[in-house]
Structure 1
Amino acid sequence: MTCLHSYVTDLHIHIGRTRSGAAVKITAAPSLTLENIINYAENIKGIDIIGVIDCHVKETLEEIKEYLADGEAYERKDGGVQFRRVTLFLGTEIEIYDENCHGPIHVLVFMPTIEAMELFSAWMSVRMKNPTLSSQRLYENGNNLQKKVKELNGLFIPAHIFTPFKSLFGKGVKSSLTEVFDPSMIDAVELGLSSDTSMAQIVTELESYPFLTNSDAHSLEKMGREYQFLRLDEPSFDEFRLALKGIGGREVETNFGLHPLLGKYYQSICADCQSKITKGACEACQSTKLIKGVSERILELPLHTPVRKRPPYIHQIPLEFIPKLGKKTLEKLRSHFQTDMNIIHSATEEELSKVVSPQIVRAIFSARKGELSIKTGGGGVYGKIIEKN
């Protein structure tokens, strides 16, 4: 009899540097090494399944194979690489800008095995200028990329789909994903930090796709700022595939993400003076240049009344966003409760009160309940939690 369990899952984590110190994601922290990612997921964040999306890089693959050779990890027969209590899914983030795009589009691709990722990496290496770096532009048609992914039994997931820059609906297409992709070869979509289920589910073309919420971590602390609970029989690639299809009780059980108001691109902002702008010229400086917010961009797409029943979306405030919760206090909490997931989801008010001040206890519980006041973000600047006196 199948016994399903919930697994904390974050499928968009970058590598900053390889073991030798070579840069992979230029804008990511050097501390984002594979070893540190595994340790942080297991011992600090409490994440069960991670997607490392720079596994197309040859040195990254070689490092993973070294772990296998040393007996510190093993390939699961049903897909994924097991490191102690953490399962790694082999992924890559790719930038597409073919003749059908109106702007660059980032997509996530996941492969079930090291062999499949090696084949995919070799295929990509002659179609991009620098295969040793993250999120490189692929000089290939979007449909052809999808076909190759499916040929290798992989998963194809457009990333942070509403972000103004480098996303499917940000600038990639005018009104339909069919301008670039074959809808039948998309397995899920990643929402991004400035949208949630209530916003995305009204977009007609997204009705058939499951929603994923991932951190897009460029530092160790950003891991797990968005995540989901996957309900699976075991933490494997094949089980994840079944969950995306909703087969046998497997499912995306709950999405946890930033309140969209905290995202960097929720509202439209004047590109010149950073003032809030709606229509026409900026009232502050009369500029007509704007960085269009996700909340406005969604309303330009074909919309409908959603039919599909979606998992709950919980507006989860990361601990680093909570006022007065500095590094030393966070270390104290982690020392007492082991992982961030325990602090965020499990610790009682009484237990927290023994470790931190009443003000921080109230803030943590207000964050759990979605009761914190927020200053809205936009134009590349995160929103902020407003402290109450």
Structure 2
Amino acid sequence: MKITAAPSLTLPTIIKYAADIKGINMIGIIDCHVPEVLNELESMIGNGEAYQLTEGGVRFSGITLLLGTELEIYDENCNGPIHVLCYLPSIDSMRVFGEWLAHRMKNRHLSSQRIYEHAQAIQAKVRRLNGLFIPAHVFTPFKSLYGKGVKKSLTEVFNPDLIDGIELGLSSDTAMAEQLEELGRYPFLSNSDAHSLEKMAREYQIVQMKQPSFMEFKWALQEREGRKIVANYGLNPLLGKYHQTICAICSKKVDGESCTNCQINKVIKGVSERIKELASRKTKKIQRPPYIHQVPLEFLPKVGKQTLRKLRDHFGTDMNIIHSVPYEELQKVVSMQVVNGIRMARTGTLPIEAGGGGKYGKIDIKNY
């Protein structure tokens, strides 16, 4: 439900696809500040299709919706715009936040929004409304905290005490992000940043909580009374669009500040390179949930729409197919090449050509 999203990414289709195809129990939608989205939610509640949970969130059959908004912050202390995620517990609190945003943006009826306000003022407002404030895809070269937003530290822009979690983005994982000592105090989130139905659940986390509600999720981030993130699942960072440094002119891999092919100093710095610049850990690493690399089915060779449909018809959700269905059962439905692709994905042995410069990594067919 973003400006750049597929037309099929509507509220009803998101709810159905996330629950029935992807196997998600809780999903965040990031344009809930838009009045029309809130009105649609209230209409669905009025029709009996959903109800608000007393602990926050909107419950549909089989899935809970977290009410969120993605903001593009323009703060005089930023070197560049920074994307952040703000989640609020209820429709009423999101309406209040939306009204507050309306005085600081040009058109609140659009999804992802430019907002001209001090970042710490936004943080404080979210906290007063009992919401969650999470910097988004923090290492990507454009419109992120460490990509362009700050030179070295999040404290250049944000109040570190008003951050509830860190979203890693598709081109990094826990092992990469934990090299920054200042991130040691925050839980890491692996979210899809989906602009289409198929992109949902390419990254997610398993969360231990009593029920899928806003408050339980908040307490899990705080690790209260046994609640916690159990595991992060996400792309191998090599598959991300910005993992390696690429020449902006010829798209070749660059080692250094300029392209040896073009002889031009115009590169799109990769996440891996940026993290090396920021690496600061001097103390012992903290214990974190495992980060489990996964490969979405659509990345695998010979898995087109027809094969996807066949797999889902037989085995249910993508999560089940990617991680759980026995190989002998898969062999009854799809070719051995597809089965071997799933096996290699599970065991981390797929050969991958790293992505960069805005292009996803891909499976190396020559060595497949």
* Range into which the TM-score falls when normalised by the shorter chain: over 0.9
Q: Are 2:83 and 2:144, in contact at CA under 8 Å, matched by a contact in 1?
A: yes
1:26 aligns with 2:3: yes
Q: Deviations over 1:192-217 (max 9, x none)?
A: 00000000001011000000001000
1:207 maps to: 184
Q: Are 2:104 and 2:115, in contact at CA under 8 Å, matched by a contact in 1?
A: yes
1:343 maps to: 321
1:139 aligns with 2:116: yes
Q: Which amino acid aligns with 1:145?
A: I
2:330 maps to: 352
In the TM superposition, residue 139 of structure 1 has moved relative to its aligned partner by 1.3
Q: Are 1:175 and 1:302, in contact at CA under 8 Å, matched by a contact in 2?
A: no
Range with bigger deviation, 274-283 or 84-93: 274-283
**Aligned length in residues:** 366
Runs (4+) of structure 1 moved beyond 2 Å? none
- The 3-state SS of whatever aligns with 1:253 is strand
1:376 aligns with 2:364: no
1:194 aligns with 2:171: yes
Distance in 2 of aligned mates of 1:103 and 1:368: 38
Q: What TM-score does the superposition give when structure 2 sets the normalisation length?
A: 0.98
Q: Tell me: higher relative CO, structure 1 or 2? Use CA pairs within 8 A at least 6 residues apart.
A: 1
1:326 aligns with 2:296: no
Distance in 1 of aligned mates of 2:262 and 2:279: 32
- How do 1:1-389 residues align onto structure 2 when only pairs under 5 Å count? 15=1, 25-305=2-282, 306-387=284-365, 388=367
Q: Are 2:239 and 2:360, in contact at CA under 8 Å, matched by a contact in 1?
A: yes
Q: Deviations over 1:281-315 (max 9, x none)?
A: 31111010110000011111151145210100011
Q: Which amino acid aligns with 2:223?
A: G
Structure 1's unaligned 5+ residue stretches are: 1-14, 16-24
Q: Deviations over 1:133-190 (max 9, x none)?
A: 1221111100100000000000000000000000000000000101110000000000
In the TM superposition, residue 279 of structure 1 has moved relative to its aligned partner by 1.2
Distance in 2 of aligned mates of 1:51 and 1:264: 22
In the TM superposition, residue 115 of structure 1 has moved relative to its aligned partner by 0.6
- The 3-state SS of whatever aligns with 1:276 is coil
Distance in 2 of aligned mates of 1:74 and 1:215: 25
Q: Are 2:257 and 2:267, in contact at CA under 8 Å, matched by a contact in 1?
A: no
Q: Are 2:232 and 2:291, in contact at CA under 8 Å, matched by a contact in 1?
A: yes
Q: What TM-score does the superposition give when structure 1 sets the normalisation length?
A: 0.93
Q: Are 1:54 and 1:134, in contact at CA under 8 Å, matched by a contact in 2?
A: yes
Structure 2's unaligned 5+ residue stretches are: none
Distance in 2 of aligned mates of 1:137 and 1:296: 27
